[in-house]
Amino acid sequence: MSHRIRLVLPLAFLLLSAGALRAQGPADTTITVVPTFGPERFVAAQAPLELTLSRAPGGTEGRLAIFIGTSDLTSLFERDGVRLRFRANGVDLPAGESEMKVYLVDGESWTELAKLPIRVLTPRGFERANVEPGLELRNTGQVAEGHSGSATASARPTYQAVAGTMALETSHARAGVSLTSSTHVLGANERANALRFGELGDDASRVDLADYVIRLEARNAVLSLGQVSTGANRHLINGFASRGVTAVVGGQRASWTVGVENGTSIVGTDNITGLDRGDHRILSTGLAFEAIPARPGALHVDATVLHGSLLATSGFTQGGITAADQSDGYGVQIAASSPAQRLKLAAGFASSSSQYAADPPLTSGGSIVPNQAHRKSARYAELAAGLLQDRRILRAPVTMALALRHERVEPMYRSVGVYAQSDVERNAVDLGGSIDVVSVQATHGRTGDNLDDVSSMMTNRSRLSTLTLGTPLSALLRVTQHAALLPSVSYALQRMHQFGAGIPTGGLYTASDIPDQMSMVHDASAQWQVKQWQVGYRMNASRQDNRAPGHELEDRIAQTHGITVGVAVGAALTLGLDLGLERQENKQLSQVNHVRRAGLTGTWRVASLTTLDGALSLSRAQDPGAGSDTHVSSLQAGIAQGIKLWRSVDGAPRGQAFLRFARYANELFNLTNSFAPPSQQSGTWNVASGLSLRLF
């Protein structure tokens, strides 16, 4: 028995040892790499990086190779057992976000041991540092010109105008702070094309600053200088863009905005900050609150306060009195929506006190009464509701949404931060959606003025109703075979009634002076797409019915028919044909005018960067009232050549050169006037050239 035990124990030990060796074998041959850096933070360009290996590779396993991006940095890593230490020796790590890859190289076999994200600062310590200059040159000109008949030669039969844009884009970031800038400078060889010629005339510089913006962002604050925009109140200040300073502080729940801007958009270097003139400046501040940051728009409230003064500006050819237009105001807006966006509400109120400031040259004589400040208000409300969502009615899926809109701006309401038409009230209802595959859009709106019911003023009213329908007939009729033969059709109806409400007092108006006009417009179209062919037909019919007393016969009727045909011949050639017929009838004069036109267009891409195009247009207008028949023709043809000086990053051409010929002819036939020449002819032609070149 003991003999058997002595035999079994060694055998069991050998089996267990073999199993342990088999279990450890793969782990021993695998090499893992642990870095001292992580992807969550940036490291310096010459930081002493360190890698720790799970074990050192054996002499027969091969050598180690270390890459960052496409740069081989193996020679800069010193090995000390299982540790690899980076020694810069004056060499910077590749800046930006990249990957460090560690390989085990055995002859031609490369085994990837690790792929480690790494973020490296620039040599000056920035997380991001980009400077991108740009230069674009443009040339437009006319190389030849001719004329015939009664046409006269232009003042400049030949000319060449050169312009250019210099741009500089920068972006720097470090420790959560980013600084970006964008600058554009425009130049022209002729002073008449200078950026500020309309303002300064011959004093305008040929090279001038067009725009710039510098933006500093840190945590929850943003400061901008240059061309900025501010404001989100519909009736007080809304996207006002000019040169100035804006600051925004806050996060997703609440934010505070302050803006100080020049009263009008400016260019040039004279008023570099936009804040030089206190009497031509707009100051605004706004507070926005989001009740549920996780669902923006659920309940949003914002309040805005404005103070501003604007001067009337004049060009160098004009004289003007520069009395300041001042206003102070405040406004509140609210927006809310249901979780599924089936119900949306937006409303706002604004109050503004405005006046024209007293101007010494005007008021020194004492005969002019200065404008008094007056406070007026404006309001709006909009409600949108999804009534039906894929609801089946008579077996057809129906989706329909309703929108109600209201706006009222009191008489003499004015704000220097936005243009708002005063003395007007608008109300409208919109209904839109689809019934099966038919799209439906219907609106009805009412507009009126003279809200204070001033008896001596004209009171105008308008009623506008529209209906638009559209559908692909193949889908509507459930046609699957030869479906392309059925067109997509659309129809639109517009009905507008404009009229005056009552006769103003004071004897300035009579019943015949009060407008009353009904306009009706029908528009129908059909579009076919059959392989490479596109065919379209459109009909438009309108009637202007004048109902004012004494003007009942002043009606006009018009009809237009148009056919378009387009075909693509391969991938390089496209051709188009356009035919039209127009009829206009003047009921008062019992006259009917006809206009017939035909046009042919074509584009041929001769090579990847070379394109030929042309257009021919012919028209004939018959006007019995004037006793004339007019024939007009125009011809255009050109060639455009893309330019690739060197390979760009996006692969797009660096520029384009073109040469274009244009001819215009007009011949008037006199049908009734025996004292005038039977025909009059005029014609012009020119050859224009152009070049645009983006150097970098």
pLDDT score at 428: 98
pLDDT score at 9: 43
Please state the separation of Cα 233 from the chain's center in Å: 20
pLDDT band at 176 (very low <50, low <70, confident <90, very high): confident
Residues 6+ apart with CB under 8 A from 363: 370
Q: Mean of the pLDDT values across residues 195-202? A: 91
The Cα–Cα gap between 291 and 293 comes to 6
**pTM for this one?**
0.81
pLDDT score at 550: 87
pLDDT band at 459 (very low <50, low <70, confident <90, very high): very high
pLDDT band at 360 (very low <50, low <70, confident <90, very high): low
Determine contact, residues 253/289, Cβ cutoff 8 Å: yes
For 578-623, the DSSP string reads EEEEEEEEETTTTEEEEEEEEEEEEEEEEETTEEEEEEEEEEEEEE
Q: What is the pLDDT of residues 602-616, one digit of tens each?
A: 999 999 899 999 999
Q: What is the mean pLDDT of the chain?
A: 89
199 backbone dihedrals φ, ψ, rounded to 5° = -95, -40
pLDDT band at 264 (very low <50, low <70, confident <90, very high): very high
pLDDT score at 511: 87
pLDDT score at 17: 43
pLDDT score at 26: 40
Q: What is the pLDDT of residues 32-63, one digit of tens each?
A: 999 988 888 888 888 888 999 999 888 788 89
Quick one: the chain helix, strand, coil %, rounded to 5? 10, 60, 30
Determine contact, residues 236/350, Cβ cutoff 8 Å: yes
pLDDT score at 357: 62
The Cα–Cα gap between 417 and 561 comes to 45
pLDDT band at 355 (very low <50, low <70, confident <90, very high): confident
Q: Give the percent of the chain with pLDDT over 70.
A: 91
- Is 91 or 650 the better-scoring residue by pLDDT? 91
pLDDT band at 96 (very low <50, low <70, confident <90, very high): confident
Nearest to 688 by CA among 648, 641, 636: 636
Pairing of strands 177-188, 159-174: antiparallel
Residue 19 DSSP class? H
pLDDT score at 331: 97
pLDDT score at 333: 98
